[in-house]
Amino acid sequence: MYVDMGQLLARAVAGGYAVGAFNIVNDLTAAAAIRAAEELRSPIILQTSVSTVKEIGAEHLIVLLSDLAKRATVPVAVHLDHCTDPALVRRCMDLGWSSVMIDRSKASFEENIRTTREIVQEAQQKGVTVEGELGSIVGVEDDIVVSSGEEGLATPQGAEEFVRRTGVGAFAPAIGTAHGLYTGTPNVRFDLFDQIKRRVACPLVVHGGTGLSEGVFRRLVAAGAAKINISTAIKIAYCEGMAEYTAAHTGENNPLRMDRFVAERVKACVGEHIHIFGSDQKA
């Protein structure tokens, strides 16, 4: 069933688990992610990066995803990830995304609050949940590049003010995680996460999930993370699955069999994360 992300996160907070938000790139990855969630009886968030929206086309993508979500036997939310462009956020809200992220974290604190607040006000009339970000998460996500050294972590006071003044339904503070692959051991600031959690009532989101250890995930979930984003791991499962299949079946040229193989890889990747996040058997 196609549900609002706000409901999923409220249940996650009450139940002490996190819902995985997986950046799908096409119908194959979306269907595989849903199958993993169905097998584990878990709620799931399908996330669309802006590049995926542009590549497939917003109209077609939402028809495809909402159809998969409606036919699913577990709750599925469809979320627009990291969108810096208010016009595209508005378009996606109008087309049927049930939640959106407006990312103005590279702008000044006041400008971030102002634009996020505007989107929240419009979203409320449409029953859409809005995620906002404070601080900058290092790495590359789509066209948004934040170099190491440019990042600013969120502060507890800033977080409290941002959430109070914007009214966001989900909040992503920069706490030391990074998009893409980690080159060293990430310095995840659990202390900062705890302080923010104590001052902010809205569900917290962790970005940059790929490459975090099981121990770090479990600590974040225990500390109250309600949504954890996984993108690069899905892309790796997809591309490596394809490479492996074609290498092992040279000359076969059977896309459907290759798709089935790749889908299993993506499903396994999603399933592993669902299990660690503790959302299995919660649908």
Q: Which residues does the annotation mark as catalytic?
A: 81
Of 230, 262, 263, 276, the one binding ligand 13P (CB under 6 A) is 230
Distance separating the N- and C-terminal Cα atoms of the chain: 11
Phi-psi region of 127 (alpha: psi -120 to 50; beta: other; left: phi over 0): left
Q: What is the per-residue binding string for ligand 13P in 9-28, x denoting contact by CB under 6 A?
A: --------------x-----
Question: What does the H/E/C string look like for 53-119?
Answer: HHHHCHHHHHHHHHHHHHHCCCCEEEEEEEECCHHHHHHHHHHCCCEEEECCCCCCHHHHHHHHHHH
Of 131, 133, 141, 280, the one binding ligand 13P (CB under 6 A) is 141
The strand pair at 129-134 and 99-102 is best described as parallel
Q: Quick one: 223 or 258, whose CB is closer to ligand 13P?
A: 223
Q: Quick one: 107 or 258, whose CB is closer to ligand 13P?
A: 107
Stretch that binds ligand 13P, among 119-127, 208-216, 249-257, 274-282 (CB under 6 A): 208-216
CB of 237 to ligand 13P, least distance (A): 12
Residue 133 sits in the site that holds ligand 13P (CB under 6 A): no
Across 54-88, b (16+ Cβ under 10 Å) vs e yields eebebeebbebbbebbeebebbbbbbbbbbbeeeb
Stretch that binds ligand 13P, among 161-169, 188-196, 230-238, 249-257 (CB under 6 A): 230-238
Residue 99 sits in the site that holds ligand 13P (CB under 6 A): no
Name residues contacting ligand 13P, limited to 65-94 (CB under 6 A).
81-82
Please give the residue ranges that form the binding site for ligand 13P (CB under 6 A). Answer: 23, 81-82, 141, 179-180, 207-210, 229-233
